[in-house]
Amino acid sequence: MLVRDAMSTVILTLGPAHTLRQAACLMSGRRVGAAVVLDPDHSGIGILTERDILNSIGAGHDPDRESVGAHTTNNVVFCTPEATVAEAAEAMAIGGFRHLIVLEDGGPVGIVSVRDVIRSQVRTRRRIAA
């Protein structure tokens, strides 16, 4: 199965000036665990995850004062829609993260999560069993 068949195309995009509270509210409202961070002043794409927000709050930071930019991961591992789900799962396992931004033609077209990988495997097993 390919990543394009498993990924979520619901992409929340944030800027680095958003506060962590704003990010958390938007992520909760969209029911996503990660957001793509686009900074017009810097090239590249970053990612902010629910874990980044939890780590900041756990460290005693004020989510109304902390910026998304201060907690964004910028050295992001990406995949393409044509990658296999197994390749995406391997990249996540090796890197120790739960989300991969899916890029096509230089821009984000989706996010694949560990949950998406599990769902795709369940679907595949059901098809094989049927």
- Residue 106 pLDDT grade (very low, low, confident, very high; cuts 50, 70, 90): confident
For residues 84 and 59, give the distance between their C-alpha atoms in angstroms, rounded to a whole number: 37
For residue range 56-67, what is the model confidence (pLDDT) as tens digits? 999 999 999 999
Q: Which domain holds residue 85?
A: 3-129
pLDDT value for 130: 65
CATH number at residue 50: 3.10.580.10
pLDDT value for 123: 74
For residue range 68-96, what is the model confidence (pLDDT) as tens digits? 999 999 989 999 999 999 999 999 999 99
pLDDT value for 2: 95
Residue 117 burial (CB count, 10 A): 22
Q: How many domains does the chain have?
A: 1
Evaluate the CA torsion angle 94, 97, 103, 107 in order and state its sign. Answer: negative
CA proximity to 49, closest of 121, 86, 85, 101:
101
